[in-house]
Structure 1
Amino acid sequence: MPVRSNPPASMGRRAIPFLFVLLWSTGFIGARLGLPHAPPLLFLVLRYLAVIALMTMVALVMRAPWPRGVRAWASIGIAGLLVHGLYLGGVFIAISQGLPAGVTSLVVGLQPLLTAMVAVGWMGERLGGRRWFGLALGFAGVALVVSRQLDAGFGAGGLPAAVLALLAITAGTLWQKRWCPSFDWRTGLVVQFIPATLATAVAAALTEPLQLRWTGEFVFALGWLVFVLSLGAVSLLNALIRAGSAVDSASLFYLVPPSTALFAWGLFGERLTGAALLGMALTVAGVWLARLK
């Protein structure tokens, strides 16, 4: 008898990339609501500590396996330091120093192209002309989506932090794919966030006033970033890196600025121009081509 595939499971796997983009795009909600009440790095330290506490309890209750050996802990920890500590720290600092969110998105939006170039040379991934064209088309779409913000005060002081974020998320994605593609997500999140917390706490103590206001907006923003982003979206990102190529995972980040623009339009009434709508269409087409085998 022929073995039939499981349609619900197959549909669930196919939905993971779209759910990841949806959740990751909501990060601007937490940043927009929380940053007026706390310095960026202190905000992130509280977020990381909450994730470590919650996931440690979950891992212990569920008796999840922990990584074995110093090498496994170090590899997962380095990935977490890059993807969480340096990437998120760079993004939050860039925005807090006046770099428009659209410009920040555009800088970080170079990640799929940068990942593709490094993956081809370092990891031996093979990309045809169609996938290269898809990556270029996706970046053009992102540029159109954020084009309105490119003219609104450049805030060059935050540019180095945005570039650091770009390099960190690229290196972190490639590192995890190369050295630690598979680990239990419950304990792995704890291991990833420990070095990110330590590094961010030291940077916060050296550079920021350790003051915050526990307002309703701040508590909501912190909870949103902990549960929706750090637990939900990051777990999905780990699954995507484990299941696909580095370029496949990175190309999904092209969909984040268009998705964020739609959230801003629906929640805050921000205007969507014709160029932005065209950019969204180009981005979706580019990601489809880049992920097409």
Structure 2
Amino acid sequence: MTVVAAAGFVLAWSSGFLIAAIGTVEVPATTLLLWRFAPLAVLLVGLVAATGAARGIAPRTLGRQALIGAFAQLGYCAFVYAAIAAGIATGTTALIDAVQPLVVATLVGPLLGLRVRGAQWAGLALG
């Protein structure tokens, strides 16, 4: 089951660039993203409510996590989809997306004074 779930995740995630290229021909990027995220958000909120997974977590913490998730996924995807809708090749956007962790690791030291450990660089090198 774990292998099937992992394969499904890889297929779903990697197809995002292709879906963006096909979908933004017919509808605006924002509409496409709405239909990508809204049904899943409703499903996940229902799942959390049914299982009580958020029990004991402060509302402020949940709000912060929701905001981080919105910036991490919706903000990121909005720019990728808008770029593809503007005519930038999906391969180019995928390459820029793939390089982001390396850019962050390179800039986190000079900008924030944090040190990237050797094991973290090794993890980035492995992909």
> C-alpha distance in 1, partners of 2:115/2:103?
14
> C-alpha distance in 2, partners of 1:42/1:102?
22
Question: 1:26 is paired with a residue of what secondary structure?
Answer: helix
Question: 1:98 is paired with a residue of what secondary structure?
Answer: coil
Task: Give the TM-score of the pair, scaled to structure 1.
Answer: 0.35
Higher relative contact order (CA 8 A, sep 6+): 1
- Given the alignment of the two structures, is residue 115 of structure 1 paired with residue 97 of structure 2, yes or no? no
* Amino acid across the alignment from 1:61: A
2:117 aligned partner: 126
Task: Give the TM-score of the pair, scaled to structure 2.
Answer: 0.72
- Superposition pairs of residues 16-27 of structure 1, within 5 angstroms: 20-27=9-16
Is the contact made by 2:33 and 2:78 (CA closer than 8 Å) also made in structure 1?
yes
Unaligned runs of 5+ in 1: 1-7, 132-247, 252-285
Question: 1:52 is paired with a residue of what secondary structure?
Answer: helix
- Given the alignment of the two structures, is residue 90 of structure 1 paired with residue 79 of structure 2, yes or no? yes
Structure 1 residue 122: Cα displacement: 4.6
- Given the alignment of the two structures, is residue 44 of structure 1 paired with residue 33 of structure 2, yes or no? yes
1:68 aligned partner: 58
Aligned-residue sequence identity (percent) comes to: 24
* Amino acid across the alignment from 2:116: E
> C-alpha distance in 2, partners of 1:125/1:23?
30
> C-alpha distance in 2, partners of 1:125/1:32?
35
Structure 1 residue 73: Cα displacement: 2.6
Question: 2:118 is paired with a residue of what secondary structure?
Answer: coil
Question: 2:95 is paired with a residue of what secondary structure?
Answer: helix
Structure 1 residue 40: Cα displacement: 0.5
- Superposition pairs of residues 1-293 of structure 1, within 5 angstroms: 12=2, 20-66=9-55, 67-70=57-60, 72-120=61-109, 122-127=113-118, 131=122, 248=123, 251=124, 286-287=125-126
Deviations 1:38-65 (A, max 9, x none): 1101211232221221112222222222
Unaligned runs of 5+ in 2: none
Structure 1 residue 20: Cα displacement: 4.5
Question: Aligned Cα RMSD in Å?
Answer: 3.1
Instruction: Using the TM superposition, name which of 47-56 and 57-66 deviates more.
Output: 57-66
Deviations 1:185-240 (A, max 9, x none): xxxxxxxxxxxxxxxxxxxxxxxxxxxxxxxxxxxxxxxxxxxxxxxxxxxxxxxx
Is the contact made by 2:21 and 2:84 (CA closer than 8 Å) also made in structure 1?
no
Structure 1 residue 127: Cα displacement: 2.1
CA change 1:69–1:54 in 2 (3 A) is closer
